[in-house]
Amino acid sequence: MFYIYCPYCQEHREEEEFHAAGQAHIARPADPDNCTDEEWGDYLYFRKNPRGLHHEMWVHAAGCRKFFNMTRDTQSYEIKEVYKMGEQPQIVSEQDSIARGTA
């Protein structure tokens, strides 16, 4: 069981109040009419399944009903951080840094 900190309620709650809502930070192609089928297909259907750090969305379904982001280790199940919608993660894996061009 997770014991999850909701950044909106500002306290820890039991996992059964939450629902996982998939991968976070999925950017919609800026110009869908002119992107390739591959880009659109990646956006719609293809998701990461990393072994290690994963940025994902959760929703406090039985509480304040707000979505927020979480960085979680899929191996150890450790929750590294939670952060509000629109914010960027503080903890990123090496692959993420390379993909973002910040490494």
Partner 1 sequence: MSDVTNVEASSPVQAGEQAAKPQVAVMNLLAGEGPRADSPLAHAELGAIAKQSDAKGGVCLQELKLLGHLVLRGDPNNQSFVAGVTKVLGVALPAALKTEVIGELSVHWVSPDEWLLIMPAKQAFQLERELRAELTGHYAIVNVSGGQTVLRLTGPDVDKVLCKSTPYDVHERNFPVGKVVTSVFAKSQAVISRSGEEAWDLVVRRSFADYLWLWLQDASAEYGLQIKG
Query: With respect to partner 1, which residue has the nearer C-beta, 17 or 56?
Result: 17
102 binds partner 1 (CB under 8 A): no
> CA-CA distance, 73 to 60, in Å (whole number)?
20
In the list 10, 34, 36, 90, the residue contacting partner 1 (rule: CB under 8 A) is: 10
Q: Which residue number, 47 or 65, has a Cβ lying nearer to partner 1? A: 65
Torsion of CA 64, 65, 67, 68, to 10 degrees: 20
**DSSP bridge partners of 10:** none
Contact between 16 and partner 1 by CB under 8 A: the answer reads yes
